[in-house]
C-alpha cells in the first residue's frame, strides 16, 4: 500500500512538473523552487495550473485553497493534489 502511494506521488509529481515546465518554457530541476514568486510563472498561469489539476486528477478545487502554501512550488501542488485526492 505504501509503495502504491509513493508511486502515485512520483506520477503526480512528474505530471505537474511537465505542466509547469511547459507553461514556463524551461526546466525546473528542484521541485521546491518557488514558481510564482521567482517569476518562473506569471500569476495569470495559475488558471492553467488549476484547470490542469481539475481535469487531470478529477478534483474540484476550493478557491480558498489557492495560495502560495498550496500552489507555490511543484512539490506543494503535488502534496495538495494528493491530499485532496484522499479527501474526495
Partner 1 sequence: MTDIANLFDNAGSTNLITYKGRTETGDSFAALIADLYQKISCIPELKTGSFILLLNEHPIEFYSLLFAIWKNGNRVIFPTRDIFSDPLSILYYKYSVSLNEGNVAITPNQHYVQEEDDLPGDTVVFSSGSTGAPKGILHDRNNFLKNARAVADTIQVSSLSNITFLKPYLVSAISHFLVHYLTGSHLLFDNYENIQNLSDYYTANPSAGIVGAPIHVVSGLRFIPEDAQPGIFFTSGDFISAGAIENIFSRFPETTYFNVYGLAELAGRFFINRIEASTPADRYEAIGTNIPGTGYQSGESDIRVNSDFLFSGYIIDNTFRSREVLHPSGDLVVNKNGLLFLAGRTNDEIKILGNKVALRYIEIKIRNILKQDTTVLIAQPHPTFGNLLALVIKSEREYKRTEIIRKLRKHLSPHEIPHKFFYMDDIPFTQSMKIDRNAIARQLQSLRMIHG
Binding site for partner 1 (CB under 8 A): 18-19, 21-25, 41-45, 47-48, 50-52, 55-56, 61, 63
3-state secondary structure of 30: coil
CB-CB contact of 27 with 49 (8 Å): no
Angle among Cα 10, 82, 69 to the nearest 5 degrees reads 105
Q: Nearer to partner 1 by C-beta: 19 or 73? A: 19
Shortest approach of partner 1 to residue 53 CB, angstroms? Answer: 11
Shortest approach of partner 1 to residue 35 CB, angstroms? Answer: 13
Amino acid at each position: 500500500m505504501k509503495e502504491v502511494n509513493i508511486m502515485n506521488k512520483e506520477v503526480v509529481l512528474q505530471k505537474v512538473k511537465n505542466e509547469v515546465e511547459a507553461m514556463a518554457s524551461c526546466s525546473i530541476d528542484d521541485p521546491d523552487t518557488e514558481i510564482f514568486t521567482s517569476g518562473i510563472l506569471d500569476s495569470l498561469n495559475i488558471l492553467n495550473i488549476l484547470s490542469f489539476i481539475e481535469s487531470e486528477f478529477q478534483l474540484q478545487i476550493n478557491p480558498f485553497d489557492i495560495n502560495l502554501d498550496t500552489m507555490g512550488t511543484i512539490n506543494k501542488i503535488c502534496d495538495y493534489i494528493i491530499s485532496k485526492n484522499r479527501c474526495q
